[in-house]
Structure 1
């Protein structure tokens, strides 16, 4: 039997997720459709592709071979898509952009509005997501992120050094006092992370500098921690550009000299000459650089 991509993508989705529900979500179909398509492929090939286990689906030998074939087909299709998109000289079309929640809240949206005013033919799709995205799979055309790109197929530039500091609501500091050093935080409430702090440099810094006993409130992202600080729940470690011009907040201890992160704008190397990608990286990238510098003074 000859398999087409439409058949293999169902097998690939199940292989990647390990269960039907997640695979159905990834392909934007319902669970019953996923189940029927898998059964149809297995019936056509005359072999089971997955073992049905209590904790999910595990590929059989035949299933693993089809998954590997699907991965090769996907890689070729994505490479062709990037190559054709890379030749696009029009300042129009869809542009997928991803950034962190703090950048999306504080800096990026007004810059995208100005970019759209200049290029109304470009439809920007903004995904606010702190996780790294797969640029090779076109999960995004442009990413603005806090880490230097390590992948050899990415192209980009550093926009800024991001400074960090502790901030708290002015009313909180008025009632509880302002700590003068980290050792004084033991008598205060600190806003920390709910889980996996080592995934961020700032989270790692916080866990090393302050004992868990000082944490009075936990949240899963910097925007939530920023909102919590404004509400008077404690002292939060935040990027300076997010909190410095907020009149509800006051800095504690000043800028931190031992915590510095970077901000980069990147795209896949095959897309760097696409007109809408190049224009966004130049115009919006320069705007981000200016705003981070202004807000960090």
Structure 2
């Protein structure tokens, strides 16, 4: 009789990885594009087939067991291998060609995406990228863009895609002003001069955090650009929250507090359902997911030069 674990499929590994990343079933279901009950049922089937628990349920969500962590790590390796195989085999088929219109924001473009776009064009020389900078969602249904790369906790229900990382945010100041940053508590830091994103970005969690804890007269500078916010902190205009992937690579900046999970934002690769199987879209999304995955620890604030 066949052993039950031999029935495990690639989708099972994707499911376990999604639960670990989302720390819960509803968010994992949303990421995978299925309903909550399907994720719950399949998790129980996988655990029964393996004869071991893959997650422990805590108040803050699902935490992988040792076996679960191994399966998540294997899923990551499998995804990389599958992507590499797809690229190799695609060389035997007509290469994707044509223009792809991609929308994202300025901070992601400058500090993360441009080198990845260059690598993509090296591998797909028949492709052309048209990058549209916007901090507001474009209408992919009307073909304002083919692909959106966005930091959001609530991607539009009309789009499909994948969550590729969680963007970590931490509090930073100019290194010259904080020779011993670990000696200051938040009570003292709230009394310093601050920079913040503008109130027209009030839906962002970092804006609410500053509004709730920093006196208005201590916010010396506001901007509606995350890119500009990093420049302001580096210029010594005040301390402020920044994405870790922007600030941690700047020697002139120093962390004043650890990354705050409550400020994190999910990074999504999104497209319209009608475009998801188009070769040029599929190849681009697979490539970007793999490359962003390799930089995930930096994006999430786990890798900290001079720290971790």
What is the TM-score of this pair, normalised by structure 2? 0.63
Q: Which residue of 2 aligns with 1:127?
A: 132
Secondary structure at the aligned position of 1:280 is classed as helix
Q: 1:95–1:277: 8 Å Cα contact kept in structure 2?
A: yes
2-structure distance, mates of 1:160, 1:177: 28
Between Structure 1 and Structure 2, the one with more strand by share is 1
2-structure distance, mates of 1:279, 1:223: 29
Which digits, 9 at most, give the CA deviation of each residue in 1:210-234, with x for residues without a partner?
2212201111211101011111111
Q: Which residue of 2 aligns with 1:277?
A: 281
Q: 1:169–1:248: 8 Å Cα contact kept in structure 2?
A: yes
Q: Which residue of 1 aligns with 2:161?
A: 156
1:209 deviates by: 2.7
Q: Which residue of 2 aligns with 1:100?
A: 105
2-structure distance, mates of 1:194, 1:261: 18
1:200 deviates by: 1.9
Secondary structure at the aligned position of 2:161 is classed as strand
- Bigger radius of gyration: 1
Q: Which residue of 2 aligns with 1:7?
A: none
CA RMSD of aligned residues (A): 2.1
Secondary structure at the aligned position of 1:196 is classed as helix
Q: 1:92–1:121: 8 Å Cα contact kept in structure 2?
A: yes
Q: In the alignment, is residue 113 of structure 1 matched against residue 124 of structure 2?
A: no
Secondary structure at the aligned position of 1:255 is classed as coil
Q: Which residue of 2 aligns with 1:249?
A: 253
Greater mean alpha carbon deviation, residues 182-191 or residues 154-163: 182-191
User: Structure 2: which 5+ runs fail to align?
Assistant: 1-93, 304-308
2-structure distance, mates of 1:294, 1:178: 21
1-structure distance, mates of 2:296, 2:256: 20
Q: Which residue of 1 aligns with 2:241?
A: 237
1:170 deviates by: 0.9
2-structure distance, mates of 1:135, 1:116: 22
Change (3 A) 1:177 1:189: farther
Q: Which residue of 2 aligns with 1:287?
A: 291
1:284 deviates by: 1.4
Q: 1:147–1:264: 8 Å Cα contact kept in structure 2?
A: yes
1-structure distance, mates of 2:267, 2:208: 18
Secondary structure at the aligned position of 1:233 is classed as coil
User: Structure 1: which 5+ runs fail to align?
Assistant: 1-88
Q: 2:181–2:255: 8 Å Cα contact kept in structure 1?
A: no
Change (3 A) 1:254 1:284: same
The runs of at least 4 consecutive aligned structure 1 residues that moved more than 4 Å come to 176-179
Equivalences, count: 208
Q: 1:197–1:204: 8 Å Cα contact kept in structure 2?
A: no
Change (3 A) 1:289 1:207: farther
What is the TM-score of this pair, normalised by structure 1? 0.65
Q: 2:164–2:293: 8 Å Cα contact kept in structure 1?
A: yes
